[in-house]
Amino acid sequence: MALKIVFNKRADNKLDKILDYLTKEWSLKVVNEYIENIYNTLDNLAEFPEIGLKIDEERNIRALLVTKHTRLLLQGR
């Protein structure tokens, strides 16, 4: 069974701001590629929940690279 991934409100708002910026400053192609990278990363995470670099052992926080400038931080249970 694949891992269920839930964005908290803060993460959802940040993603919206990033997408707004990309839409204003870049092309629709760039926005679509960015979204595809995020979905691919989330798909990988759902299938392999232990992937990513552990950056905080106590709070069980991992980082996954989405693009060379974007990391996805996640906290496991």
pLDDT digits (tens, 9 = 90+) for 30-71: 999 999 999 999 999 989 988 999 999 999 899 999 999 899
CA atoms of 50 and 38, how far apart (whole Å): 17
Query: Any residues with CB less than 8 A from the CB of 7 and at least 6 apart, and which?
Result: 15
**In contact, 50 and 60? CB cutoff 8 Å:** no
Domain ranges of the chain: 9-75
Check residue 23 and report its DSSP letter. Answer: H
Q: What pLDDT is stored for residue 1 in this prediction?
A: 61
* Cβ contact 64:76 at 8 Å: no
